[in-house]
Chains A and B, each alone.
Chain A
């Protein structure tokens, strides 16, 4: 509501300061942890160092796996590793920002099928097992990745 009289303007200012006061009080009373996203999965995956090891192992297994190695032909594996680490880090609540294109744009043209997608998931589980990630954390990450299947699998 807009006021035109001096009393009205005073009331408007009072409302503004009251709102600012309530906001400040809410922020002060809020537990510090709730100001940040939940990073428990990020920590369970070993943070940036752990994720880098998982993704490095995943890609090493992938380029050697006869079921999917052809999908990595010609590709810059180091760049893919950087992107996947960024993505897993952000997805699991870590402090990183994924800087690549979305899954549909980045996989378009690669004609990935369900069998290949499932093989990659299997290798990711193998990589997480090898790096000592708990089943609970593995399942949480896989649940976050599962919706991407519809953008990655195109045939």
Chain B
């Protein structure tokens, strides 16, 4: 999936536990991706334009992926 126009390319994603999701910054802007949940945490750090981050979803649940730079960016990932 990508980050473009200050949005994630999709708003919801369902994956199996253990899936690695790649988030590509295909935008003009610097981006970021993080998950802050009691049972799963992830922080990509700043993702430069054209760069990507991989997140391995090792825990089942529903998680919000946000960008710490652009507050309105939101993606829901359901891990089964």
Q: What is the interface of chain A, defined by CB distance below 8 A to chain B?
A: 74-76, 79, 100-101, 105-106, 108-110
> Cβ of A76 and Cβ of B70 under 8 Å apart?
yes
Chain A hits for B30, CB < 8 A: 101, 105-106, 108-109
Nearest CB in chain A: distance from B53 CB, A? 15
A-B contact count (CB 8 A): 32
Q: What are 13 residue pairs bridging A and B, where the CB atoms are less than 8 Å apart in the complex?
A: A74-B70, A74-B71, A75-B71, A76-B69, A79-B68, A101-B30, A101-B46, A101-B48, A106-B30, A108-B49, A109-B28, A109-B29, A109-B49
A contacts with B: majority SS: loop
> Cβ of A79 and Cβ of B29 under 8 Å apart?
no
> Cβ of B29 and Cβ of A110 under 8 Å apart?
yes
Whole-angstrom CA separation of A45 from B65 in the bound complex: 38
> Cβ of A74 and Cβ of B48 under 8 Å apart?
no
Chain A hits for B72, CB < 8 A: 74
Known: A75-B70, A75-B71, A76-B69. A105 touches B6 (CB 8 A): no
Chain A hits for B68, CB < 8 A: 76, 79
Closest 9 CB pairs of A and B: A109-B28, A109-B29, A74-B70, A76-B71, A74-B72, A106-B30, A101-B46, A74-B6, A76-B69
B76 interface residue, CB < 8 Å from A? no
B27 interface residue, CB < 8 Å from A? yes
Whole-angstrom CA separation of A75 from B72 in the bound complex: 8
**Residues 1-49 of B at the A interface (beta carbon under 8 Å):** 6, 27-30, 46, 48-49
Chain B hits for A75, CB < 8 A: 69-71
Per-position binary interface string of chain B over residues 38-80, scored 1 when its CB falls under 8 Å from any chain A CB and 0 otherwise: 0000000010110000000000000000001111100000000
Whole-angstrom CA separation of A90 from B75 in the bound complex: 35
Nearest CB in chain B: distance from A115 CB, A? 20
Chain B hits for A109, CB < 8 A: 27-30, 49
Nearest CB in chain B: distance from A100 CB, A? 7
Chain B hits for A79, CB < 8 A: 68-69
